[in-house]
């Protein structure tokens, strides 16, 4: 059973329930974030970077610490091109299955791997996307305690089950709107098609007038909107 049709419904339920997470950006601004999970991969990630270079697109990558250690030069290539880097855990274990000590170690090991590969200080790598999208209120409380920023999603075309490039592109185009936070995968599951997918997808989104920004820029929009709400 494919879950793609359910994700927009899940998003509408979870976003107001967990408002401290980043689910999307400014709905009045025609800017979106293109993000990639599960890398870096020695083949798929360079293919993605080549397409992003071609269109001069800024994206965000949520990296697995184990993959960074396996492909440090690819992680460095992501950083050198100015893409935003976040954490996806060390080895893709679901966060609710980890004890607080294990979760902290997973994040810190990933930060260390990124620092070793990219010379990017841990203080600059604080965005976390939970593997499999699974988290609990306790998880979020720990993130807040440890000063991490939880990043979720608004467009999930379920590319990891490989429904085909055309289907993934159609799913994104059907759901995308101002502020969308799009999740694709450049790892072992789904990465086989990702470069071909964005080669088709990016020109169509550009033609529709969308600007691609980093997750950090979405956070800036989010914080500005929260400030405005707080001053009302």
The structure's pTM equals 0.94
How many residues would you count in the chain?
A: 232
Contact between 198 and 172 under an 8 Å Cβ cutoff? The reply is: no
CA 118, CA 74: separation in Å to the nearest integer?
10
pLDDT, residue 126, reads 97
The CATH T-level fold of domain 4-13+32-230 is TIM Barrel (3.20.20)
pLDDT, residue 6, reads 64
Instruction: Please name which of 68, 45, 150 lies closest in space to residue 103, comparing C-alpha atoms.
Output: 150
CA 160, CA 162: separation in Å to the nearest integer?
5
What are the catalytic residues? 37, 185
**Tens digit of pLDDT at every position of the chain (232 positions):** 466 666 676 667 777 778 899 999 999 999 999 999 999 999 999 999 999 999 999 999 999 999 999 999 999 999 999 999 999 999 999 999 999 999 999 999 999 999 999 999 999 999 999 999 899 999 999 999 999 999 999 999 999 999 999 999 999 999 999 999 999 999 999 999 999 999 999 999 999 999 999 999 999 987 776 654 555 5
């Amino acid at each position: 059973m494919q879950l793609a049709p359910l994700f927009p419904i899940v998003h509408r339920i979870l976003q107001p329930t967990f408002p401290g997470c980043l689910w999307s950006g400014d709905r009045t601004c025609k800017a979106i974030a293109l993000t990639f999970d599960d890398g870096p991969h020695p083949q798929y990630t360079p293919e993605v970077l080549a397409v992003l270079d071609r269109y001069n697109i800024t994206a965000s990558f949520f990296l697995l610490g184990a993959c960074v250690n396996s492909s440090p030069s690819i992680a460095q290539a992501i950083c050198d091109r100015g893409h935003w880097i976040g954490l996806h855990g060390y080895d893709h274990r679901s966060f609710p299955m980890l004890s607080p000590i294990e979760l902290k170690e997973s994040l810190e090991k990933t930060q260390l791997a990124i620092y070793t590969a990219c010379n990017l200080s841990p203080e600059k790598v604080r965005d976390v996307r939970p593997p499999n999208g699974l988290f609990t209120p306790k998880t979020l409380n720990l993130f807040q305690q440890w000063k991490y920023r939880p990043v979720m999603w608004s467009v999930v075309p379920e590319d990891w089950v490989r429904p085909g490039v055309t289907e993934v592109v159609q799913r994104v185009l059907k759901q995308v709107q101002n502020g969308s936070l799009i999740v694709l995968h450049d790892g072992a599951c789904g990465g086989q098609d990702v470069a071909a997918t964005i080669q088709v997808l990016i020109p169509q989104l550009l033609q529709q007038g969308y600007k691609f920004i980093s997750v950090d820029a979405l956070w800036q929009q989010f914080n500005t909107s929260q400030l405005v709400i707080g001053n009302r």
